[in-house]
Copies of this chain bind each other. A is one copy, B any other.
Amino acid sequence: MDAANILRNRGLRVTKIRVAILEALGEGLQALPYGDLQKKLSQFDRTTIYRTLLALIDKGLIHKALEENNESYYALCSDCTSNLHNHNHVHFKCNECSSVQCLHISKEVGLSIPEIVIDSIEITAKGTCSTCLLTH
């Protein structure tokens, strides 16, 4: 399904920047920091990028993969709905090339601690990605 139809299905109007952001995030199937998005989409106003990201997050099309060094990384959602973001996956950042990707793992990571109630767990792993392993 192309970006335009994805947007229509979530009740969002089809605009250039929305299509552009979905395509930008879809290219490498990896998370991009805000700064990269701004460079890629320099023909659009910064505010528009900001509000578009909010809208796409709100409708469950993208998610904030991680925040690091004051940069937010955004990635496509694989199985979120307008009502529920469902991220049972690990965010992996490569220390070599700084790329961030969502790793879909089967294993559930459970965690139980007395006296507190845990609703959700976020896991961020760091290491070396497959591409960088090959080149070094």
Contacts and interface: CB of A to CB of B under 8 A. Distances in A.
Interface of A: 67-68, 70, 72, 90, 92, 94-95, 103, 105, 107, 109, 111, 113, 115-130, 133
A123 B95 contact: no
Contact of A115 (B109, B118, B120, B133): B133
A135 B59 CA distance: 33
B120 A123 contact: no
Nearest to A92: B116
Taking the full assembly, how many copies of this chain does it contain? 2
Contacts of A107: 111
A127 B133 contact: no
A119 B115 contact: no
A125 B123 CA distance: 9
A57 B94 CA distance: 22
B127 A119 contact: yes
B115 A125 contact: no
A59 to B, nearest CB: 20
B103 A113 contact: yes
Between A103, A117, A119, the greatest number of chain B beta carbons within 10 A of the residue's beta carbon is seen for A117
12 contacts: A90-B111, A95-B119, A105-B113, A109-B123, A111-B125, A116-B127, A116-B128, A116-B129, A120-B125, A120-B126, A120-B127, A121-B124
